[in-house]
């Protein structure tokens, strides 16, 4: 397996990518979540790319504009469609024998795949899709907030504290409002339904973002795969599970009717 760095441009601004080469005809494009660089948290993405490439599938990772080694301003995942499109075009140019591409994103990287539907893939793997509204506090997922406040409201001592003015009624009301916010954004739910090709949704049970997504998703949906002990970055033993989920999707994509 060979890894090489690849430079490309997005609207005239220089961006950095990393290509793990392999001989397979199906490739994996990794889209970073948050403000992570293409190395990912503690190098997890780099290790994952190496393992997928060792299984025979080329992998491309990149820093969107304003992140890591790339130039320009950070426009967030909501405005990363041009970055994703340029990375996909670069991947295809660098691996001309590649016939199909699977996209993988975690957190708002997953939401970016859904949001920017003008960039199409042959399949996609969405891990812990980001569903929080930016105007809502994201300290805890709605399920966690509900559990916390339900416990407090059952305790007479908490009511006495409220009457004595020892904690804020306004804060309590904001918390209850957040507890009611359990539905993913309509655009995300509709976007997932409108994706073409095989789709998998991976949830790390120990991740609050994953739990927030599951709040309003049909848990019997065959698209949904849950790892009970995984954290947000699928570290430790969960990395092998993530690897197998991706390879399974790549294999499934390889078997699609070429039409």
Tens-place pLDDT, residues 81-104 = 999 999 999 999 999 999 999 999
Instruction: Examine the pLDDT at 218 and tell me if it is beyond 70.
Output: yes
For the chain, how many structural domains are there in total?
Answer: 2
Cα–Cα distances in angstroms (integers) from residue 143 to residues 114, 214, 234, in the given order: 24, 10, 21
Please tell me what DSSP assigns to residue 215: T
Residue 190's pLDDT is 80
Same domain, 103 and 162: no
Residue 164's pLDDT is 64
- How many angstroms separate the first and last alpha carbons of the chain? 31
- How open is the CA angle 102-103-107, to the nearest 5 degrees? 150
φ/ψ of residue 252, rounded to 5: -65, -40
Question: Is residue 80 assigned to a domain?
Answer: yes
Q: Which residue has the tokens 């390879």?
A: 247
187 or 83: which leads in pLDDT? 83
Average pLDDT over residues 1-10: 93
Same domain, 112 and 215: yes
Same domain, 189 and 235: yes
Least Cα distance to 207 among 148, 122, 127, 89 occurs for 127
Question: Is residue 194 assigned to a domain?
Answer: yes
Are 137 and 148 within 8 A, CB to CB? Answer: no
What b-and-e string marks burial along 107-121, b requiring 16 or more CB atoms within 10 Å of the CB? bbbbbbbbbbeebeb
Domain that holds residue 21: 3-131+184-254
Q: How far apart are CA 81 and CA 149, in angstroms?
A: 39
Q: What percent of the chain has pLDDT over 70?
A: 76
pTM: 0.81
Strand 13-20 to 59-62 pairing: antiparallel
Are 232 and 240 within 8 A, CB to CB? Answer: no
Tens digits of per-residue pLDDT, 115-159? 998 899 999 999 999 987 543 334 445 555 555 555 555 666 665
Question: Is residue 69 assigned to a domain?
Answer: yes
Residue 258's pLDDT is 58
Same domain, 39 and 97: yes
């Amino acid at each position: 397996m060979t890894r090489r760095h690849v430079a490309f441009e997005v609207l005239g601004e220089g961006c950095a990518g990393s290509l793990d080469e392999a001989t397979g005809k199906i490739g994996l494009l990794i889209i970073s979540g948050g403000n992570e660089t293409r190395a990912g948290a503690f190098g997890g993405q780099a290790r994952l790319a190496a393992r997928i490439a060792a299984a025979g599938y080329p992998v491309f990772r990149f820093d969107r504009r304003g992140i890591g080694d790339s130039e320009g301003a950070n426009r967030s995942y909501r405005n990363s469609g041009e970055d994703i499109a340029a990375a996909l075009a670069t991947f295809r140019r660098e691996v001309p024998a590649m016939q199909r591409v699977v996209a993988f994103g975690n957190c708002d990287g997953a939401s970016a795949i859904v949001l920017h539907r003008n960039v199409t893939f042959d399949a996609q793997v969405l891990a812990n899709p980001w569903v929080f509204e930016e105007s809502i506090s994201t300290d805890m997922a709605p399920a966690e907030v509900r559990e916390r406040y339900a416990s407090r409201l059952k305790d007479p001592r908490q009511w006495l504290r409220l009457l004595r003015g020892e904690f804020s009624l306004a804060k309590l009301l904001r918390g209850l409002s957040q507890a009611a916010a359990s539905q993913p954004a309509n655009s995300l739910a509709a976007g997932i339904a409108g994706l073409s090709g095989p789709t998998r949704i991976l949830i790390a049970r120990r991740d609050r973002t994953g739990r927030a997504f599951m709040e309003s998703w049909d848990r019997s949906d065959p698209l949904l795969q849950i790892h009970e002990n995984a954290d947000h970055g699928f570290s430790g033993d969960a990395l092998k599970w993530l690897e197998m989920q991706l390879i399974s999707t790549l294999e499934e994509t390889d078997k699609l009717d070429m039409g």
